[in-house]
Amino acid sequence: MSPELPFPVAAHAALSDSQLRHNLAHVTRSIRSKRAAAVAELSDWEQLRAAGAALKDRVLRHLDEYLLELEASVTRAGGVVHWARDAHECNRIVAELAAAHGADEVVKVKSLTTEEIELNEGLARHGIRAVETDLAQLIIQLSDDRPSHVLVPAIHRNRTQIRDLLRARLPEAAADLSDDPEELVAVARAHLRRLFLRARFGVSGANFAVAETGTVCVLESEGNGRMCTTLPEVLVTVMGIEKVIPAWRDLEVFLALLPRSSTAERMNPYTSLWTGVSDGDGPREFHLVLLDNGRSDVLADEVGRQALRCIRCSACLNVCPVYERTGGHAYGSVYPGPIGAILAPQLSGLREHRSLPYASSLCGACYEVCPVRIDIPQVLVHLRERVVASAPRAGVRGALDPERLAMRGLARVFASRRAYEAAQRAGRRGQGPFVSDGVVRRGPGPLGAWTSARDLPAVAPQSFRDWWRSSNG
Amino acid sequence: MADGPDVTAGASAREEILGRIRAGLRDVPAAERPGDVEVQRSYRLTDDRPRAELVALFAERVGDYRARVSRVPAERLRQAVAEAAAELGLSRAAVAPGVPAQWLPEALATIADDDLGIETLDELDLAISGCAAAIAETGTIVLDGGPLSGRRALTLVPDHHVCVVPADRVHGQLPEALAAVAPEVSGRGAPITLVSGPSATSDIELERVEGVHGPRTLVVLIAE
């Protein structure tokens, strides 16, 4: 997904949407406090976090070996493994598998990875309809909208909007449908049950895949995940290559970390773990597509690599003061919030998401809640460096880049006492028209962007050094 | 290109991805083995509390998910199943093939799930199963697709699920329960389902609603 607008522009639109801000404030505060309580219940949370981070590092530093082990295990268990370099290749593999089984409709479990590669659109181009079965994803799909939160994608819509949508789009919705969530859920249940029972082809993502046993794992709440991974004859799972974990027992760490960080539950209602195909139980055919799509590039950056530890819990979204105010759409990526600000630019290249590493106050709350200890502020600063370093240096644009000129000037000024004091004097004389009550509220030129959200202290009438010289000198 | 996956492109994708990964990991010393990256398992692996305490904790935690929980002496199990079915107003049930006859009341018309059609399961409103293990800390039931747990569709498609948990299968912590089913996974590739309360969603304004696609009622009978 390429961003339509840079973050600061998109954020402005979001900030003036009062319904959105109301919903966001409610959801982030509510999940934040519940998560804190769920985590406080465990005396060994920090040990679990450390183990989670270490296990992910072990995998990432030996990713090629673990992927080969996973491939062998899945194959031994009766599954078929495919490799996809990018979104296009992955979508083609899934479409060809569906076509080979004569399926023109597939049921899908909510999966960020398949959103990242726009699988639904890819399948549509092959005449195959993908049906989202997670309630929020169904709402998003029916309204041709985009998810705004990793965990609760339709949180920017209220119950009345959802009622109107279901009434307009689903034959199962009665004309006098109320906006009671229970009634709305019943409509979605009736609609999807029909589809589940006739579904022949299911598509899922994966939260984890165990290299040792070939077991694939999906966590969910509604039961749509169980439906999609159990009832169809053929199941295709699309997983990013970083989702592999070494051994079965390592699930003891991640199944403790993820639900408490994500939905703030001790355990989510349903966790499905399947190993290839089983006789008389579940799909007769299982395909696993291992997707790169930029992940190997992230791996190559020694500082940025830790972003691949992410288990997509969304805890960092809920504690982020920026996300809480702008919501997910402003990030222009399927990965919003702090993790999105470091993952999106790395996955699709800094060129596409230059503004995202700046969409943060670097307060560090995201690092504190991250169940796999991703130092998001560290990666943000690192990416800012990369953004600056990758700006055009040569030619007229490079030479005249205002930020570069300003920084070069500042470097010169700070390098010599005389230049510094001369600049102070000049500032004192020149700031007159911009100062009120001792602060610059709206700076001139490029400084205007900085002062649009902050006050710049004015240069004092007398500097400390001047005062020292006049009183002690 | 239109018929079936393109095998040659797949093979080269595999080599190319592995190549990119290896190129990206140039900072990792060639001699480093995965085990060299130390993982400290200093979190709780076991639970030393007495069984009675663990069973009580399990009952409490399952109850927190709004499942209906009762602790029943083994000899009263049949009666408890009958009561649960009556409370739900149901007279027919699909049953996991390994469920012993002494769990099942005579008044209930039971059909052993010997590969019943999905439509048949959809018409039956009640499923009865045992389980492979349970976890006290998280209030979780572990199903392993064996004769007692039944296959996955059995405990998914019907509207209500009565699950019998023998008290001696209750573990304190997640690591113990995962270890208990590990041989089934590595041996026969057993499909494992962890169930923690009834199916639920909070997708509309974060308000919890139960009974989305999986069973809307989960009845847990702890047999002691």
Q: What is the pLDDT of residue A221?
A: 94
Instruction: Return per-residue pLDDT of chain B as tens, 224 residues.
Output: 344 444 455 559 999 999 999 999 999 999 999 999 999 999 999 999 999 999 999 999 999 999 999 999 999 999 999 999 999 999 999 999 999 999 999 999 999 998 899 999 999 999 999 999 999 999 999 999 999 999 999 999 999 999 999 999 999 999 999 999 999 999 999 999 999 999 999 888 888 999 899 899 999 999 99
Q: What is the pLDDT of residue A373?
A: 98
Q: What is the pLDDT of residue A398?
A: 67
Question: Within the 40-59 window of chain A, which residues sit less than 8 Å (CB to CB) from chain B?
Answer: 43-44, 47-48, 50-51, 54-55, 57-59
Banded model confidence at residue A153, pLDDT cuts 50, 70, 90: confident
Say if the Cβ atoms of A302 and B27 lie within 8 Å.
Answer: yes
Say if the Cβ atoms of B203 and A134 lie within 8 Å.
Answer: yes
Q: What does chain A come to in residues? A: 473
For the entire predicted model, the pTM comes to: 0.92
Backbone angle region of A221, left / alpha / beta, with phi > 0 → left and psi within -120 to 50 → alpha:
alpha
| pLDDT exceeds cutoff 50 at A57 | yes
- Least confident segment among A254-258, A291-295, A355-359: A355-359
Distance (Å, whole) CA A158 – CA A387: 38
Chain B contact present for A318, CB below 8 A: no
Q: Which chain B residues are Cβ-neighbours of A93 within 8 angstroms? A: 5, 10
How big is the A-B interface in CB pairs under 8 Å? Answer: 270
ipTM over 0.90: yes
Which candidate from A31, A136, A281 shows the least CB-CB separation from B152? A281
Based on its alpha-carbon atoms, the radius of gyration of chain B, rounded to whole angstroms, reads 22
Q: What is the pLDDT of residue A72?
A: 98
| pLDDT exceeds cutoff 70 at A13 | yes
Q: Which chain A residues are Cβ-neighbours of B156 within 8 angstroms? A: 223, 226-227, 230
Chain B contact present for A358, CB below 8 A: no
Question: Within the 77-116 window of chain B, which residues sit less than 8 Å (CB to CB) from chain A?
Answer: 115
Q: Which CATH superfamily is domain A42-293 in?
A: NagB/RpiA/CoA transferase-like (3.40.50.10420)
| pLDDT exceeds cutoff 50 at A241 | yes
Banded model confidence at residue A394, pLDDT cuts 50, 70, 90: low
Q: Which CATH number applies to B51-223?
A: 3.40.50.10420
- Round the average pLDDT of chain B to a whole number and report it: 93
Q: Where are the beta strands (DSSP E) in chain B?
A: 68-72, 92-95, 109-112, 126-129, 133-135, 140-143, 160-166, 170-171, 192-195, 200-201, 209-210, 217-223
Q: Among all residues of chain A, which has the CA nearest to that of B61?
A: A266
Banded model confidence at residue A2, pLDDT cuts 50, 70, 90: very low
Note the pLDDT tens digit of each residue in A58-71.
Answer: 999 999 999 999 99
Handedness of CA A277, A282, A286, A290 (dihedral sign): negative
| pLDDT exceeds cutoff 90 at A20 | no
Q: What is the pLDDT of residue A445?
A: 74
Give the up-direction half-sphere exposure of residue B193: CA atoms within 13 A in the CB hemisphere. Answer: 30
| pLDDT exceeds cutoff 70 at A274 | yes
- Round the average pLDDT of chain A to a whole number and report it: 92
Domain residue spans of chain A: 42-293, 405-472
Range A42-68 average pLDDT: 98
Domain residue spans of chain B: 51-223
